[in-house]
Amino acid sequence: MSEITTIAESIKPLDESFFTAANERLDSLTKPRGSLGTLEVIASRIVAICEDPRPLLDKKIIFTFAGDHGVTDEGVSAFPKEVTPQMVFNFLAGGAAINVLARQAGADVAVVDIGVDYDFGDAEGLIQKKIVSGTKNMATGPAMTPEEAGRCVEVGIDLALEYADRGYKLFGTGEMGIGNTTPSSAIIACLSGLSPREVTGRGTGVDDAAFENKIKVIEKALEVNSPNKQDAMDVLAKVGGAEIGGIAGLCLGAASRRIPVLVDGFISTAGALIATEIEPKVRDYLFASHKSVERGHQAMLELMNLKPLLDLDLRLGEGSGAALGMNIVEASLRIYKEMATFAEASVSEEEKSNQEKQAN
C-alpha cells in the first residue's frame, strides 16, 4: 500500500461530542448566544480537530511550495518564468508579502523547492525537495508522470509529519509558481465539470488577448490529456503542478495528525481539493482563509463546502491569505478561552423567549 493510501486511511472523522462541549462553553460566555458568528464556529471545530477542550495553537507555520510550469511556454502569465526563483530568494531574505504577514501572525515560513526550474545550490534556509525542474507543457502532454505526481504528494505528507513532530500546531498553505493559475483552473474545470471559461481568471493580470489564449490552452490541455475525473492523482499528474501536489500532501498529512490547516487562495485550494478527492474526511481539518479574486475559487470552495474567512480581493498567493486567516483563528480561540462566563461576571442571562417558554 502506498504512503498516500496509508495516510488517507488513517484520517478519522471529527467526534461530535467535542463540538457539543465547545458549544456549551461558548453559550456560557458573556455575550448573546452565537453573536460572535464565525469566531464561534471556528473555535468549536478547532476543539474537535485537536480533541482538546483548551487547544493551544502556539506554534504556527506557513508552507510555501515553489514550482515552475512548462505551460508558461504558451504565454499564459504576465510575468517571466525567472520570477519563480527570484521570489524564492525574496522569501528566504524575508522581503515578500508572506514574510511580512507571517511575522504579524507569529508564524514561521517554510520555503520548499518542490519543482522550480533553477538550481538553488545550497541556498540558506531553503527546504530542498525538488521532484521536477518545472512541469512539462500540459498543452502538449502530461505535466508530470504518475510517479512524479505521487512523489510530490509524499513530499507534502512527509513535511506535515515532520513539522507535527516538531510541535507545530497550526499549518497554512502557500505557493509560488509563475503560470500556476493555469493548472489550477484546469484541475477545477476537470473535477467540477464546469467549462474552462467559467473557472479561469486573469491570474496576476493578463490582458484580454492573453486571457482568451489562457482559456484555449486549458481547453487544449484537457483534450490532449483526458484526465480521469474519478482519479485525482491522474488529474494532478496530467494537468497539475508540483506545488499543487505538495499542498495536497500537506493537507492529508496534517489531517492524519489532527492539525488544522488554513488553506490560502486559488492554487492552494486546488491542492486542497485534490486532497479531499483522495479522502473526503480531510475537509473537516481545512479552513478556507479567504475568497480569491480568481473566479474559479468560489466554485472550488462550494465543491468542498467551505466558507472563506476573509474577502479582501486578494490574488497574490504565497500563503498571504492563510497568514491573515491565522489572526482570525487566534481571535476565535482567545474568545473561547479568555472570556468570562455569565456566572463569573455576575451578568444576567438572556430571558427565555415566549416561544421557548411555551416549548418548555
Residues 6+ apart with CB under 8 A from 196: 185, 186, 189, 215, 218, 219, 222
What does the alpha-carbon distance between residue 289 and residue 320 come to, in Å, rounded to a whole number?
Answer: 9
15: left (phi over 0), alpha (psi -120 to 50) or beta: beta
Question: Nearer to its own copies by C-beta: 253 or 260?
Answer: 260
Taking the complex as a whole, the smallest distance from the CB of residue 356 to its own copies amounts, in Å, to 8
Residues 6+ apart with CB under 8 A from 34: 40
Question: Nearer to its own copies by C-beta: 107 or 237?
Answer: 107
Taking the complex as a whole, the smallest distance from the CB of residue 24 to its own copies amounts, in Å, to 18
Beta bridge partners, 197, equal: none
Written as one string, the DSSP assignment of 202-225 is -TTT--HHHHHHHHHHHHHHHHHH
The counts of H helices and E strands in the chain are 16, 6
Check residue 29 and report its DSSP letter.
B
Question: Nearer to its own copies by C-beta: 151 or 291?
Answer: 291
Is 318 known to be catalytic?
yes
Residues 6+ apart with CB under 8 A from 125: 92, 111
Question: Nearer to its own copies by C-beta: 13 or 37?
Answer: 37
Question: Nearer to its own copies by C-beta: 163 or 336?
Answer: 336
Strand (E) or helix (H) holding 176? strand 170-176
Bridging pattern class, strands 127-128 and 261-263: unpaired
CB atoms within 10 A of CB 65: 36
Interface positions with its own copies (CB under 8 A): 29-39, 78-80, 82-83, 86-87, 89-90, 93, 95-97, 99-101, 103-104, 204-210, 293, 309-316, 320, 324, 327-328, 330-331, 334-335, 338-340, 344-348, 350-351, 353-356
Taking the complex as a whole, the smallest distance from the CB of residue 249 to its own copies amounts, in Å, to 26
Taking the complex as a whole, the smallest distance from the CB of residue 329 to its own copies amounts, in Å, to 11
- 243, 268 Cβ separation under 8 angstroms: no
Taking the complex as a whole, the smallest distance from the CB of residue 280 to its own copies amounts, in Å, to 26
Catalytic residue chosen out of the listed positions 148, 154, 175, 318: 318
Question: Nearer to its own copies by C-beta: 280 or 345?
Answer: 345
Check residue 310 and report its DSSP letter.
B
Distance from the Cα of residue 260 to its chain's centroid: 11
Taking the complex as a whole, the smallest distance from the CB of residue 341 to its own copies amounts, in Å, to 8
Taking the complex as a whole, the smallest distance from the CB of residue 182 to its own copies amounts, in Å, to 15
The residue count for the chain: 360
- 116, 97 Cβ separation under 8 angstroms: no
Distance from the Cα of residue 199 to its chain's centroid: 18
Question: Nearer to its own copies by C-beta: 231 or 342?
Answer: 342
**Active site positions, annotated:** 318
